[in-house]
Structure 1
Amino acid sequence: MLYRTLADLVLAFHAVFIAFVMFGGLLALWRPRLAWLHLPALAWGALVIGMGWLCPLTPLENALRARAGQQGYAGGFIEHYLTAAIYPEGLTRETQIVLATLLVAGNLVVYGLWLWRRRTARPAGPPGSYGR
């Protein structure tokens, strides 16, 4: 039971991590300090997708499922859990590269907006200090 629970926790963490990679830039608009966590996660996620690598969390989950007497799965997390829901039939390397590019481009737009907001914000000062 312990290994199954651990495998499920790895699965949940994996899903949350993927969501953070995809949407963490939006969180950084709200809490700018999250950018320091999101940017490395974004780089890792884009590399894994774009290069066709297998995330280390997938073999960890499979190993825990095997220890629990459950059957693991071939391929990666995305192929096993999300391909049918997200990706079109016949996922190719070119499609993966396009998806990684869109992931990075979308986040560049978000971070561009973030930088623009920071530069156009007026510095806070004491009341009546405008124009000094």
Structure 2
Amino acid sequence: MAFRAVADLTAFVHLLFVLYVAFGGFLAWRWPRTIVAHVVAVAWGAASVAVGFDCPLTAVENWARRSAGEEGLPPSGFIDHYLTGVIYPESALGAVRVLAASAVVLSWAVLWRRIRVTKVASGTYS
């Protein structure tokens, strides 16, 4: 029972991380210092998609599920198992990636603009 709880909690944290990668830049509008954590999260997420390395959260979930006597995630990983084909159709994966990347770029661009306007208004930016 405890291993199942660990697996479920890990899956939930993994979902929160994926959402943070896509939308965490918008949190930085309210809390600008969080942008550093968001840049790291985006770099990690982009690298895992581009290079294809395994996420440690997937490894933890697999370990916990197998320890609970269940099957682990398929080799394709968390997103393919829980999101692709469930939240959006498999044929839309490319579009979903473009939308997520667009959300990141938009959030960063607006944050950069806000910081720049604030600095100009306060006279600390030349």
Is the counterpart of residue 106 in structure 1 residue 66 in structure 2?
no
8 Å Cα contact 1:46-1:104 kept in structure 2? no
Question: In the comparison of the two structures, how many residue pairs are matched?
Answer: 120
Shift of 1:52: 3.4
8 Å Cα contact 2:23-2:103 kept in structure 1? no
- Counterparts of 1:51 and 1:87, CA distance in 2: 23
Summarize the Cα distance change of 1:38–1:18 in structure 2 as closer, same or farther, 3 Å threshold: same
Q: Which residue of 1 aligns with 2:79?
A: 78
Greater helix content: 2
Q: CA RMSD in A?
A: 2.4
- Counterparts of 2:115 and 2:30, CA distance in 1: 12
Shift of 1:85: 3.0
- Counterparts of 2:30 and 2:106, CA distance in 1: 15
Shift of 1:91: 7.4
Larger of the two Rg values belongs to structure: 1
8 Å Cα contact 1:25-1:111 kept in structure 2? yes
Q: Which runs of 5+ in 1 are unaligned?
A: 125-132
Q: Which residue of 2 aligns with 1:44?
A: 44
Summarize the Cα distance change of 1:7–1:44 in structure 2 as closer, same or farther, 3 Å threshold: same
Q: Which residue of 2 aligns with 1:20?
A: 20
Q: Which runs of 5+ in 2 are unaligned?
A: none
TM-score scaled by length of structure 2: 0.81
Summarize the Cα distance change of 1:103–1:89 in structure 2 as closer, same or farther, 3 Å threshold: closer
Q: Percent identity?
A: 39
Is the counterpart of residue 117 in structure 1 residue 100 in structure 2?
no
Summarize the Cα distance change of 1:112–1:55 in structure 2 as closer, same or farther, 3 Å threshold: same
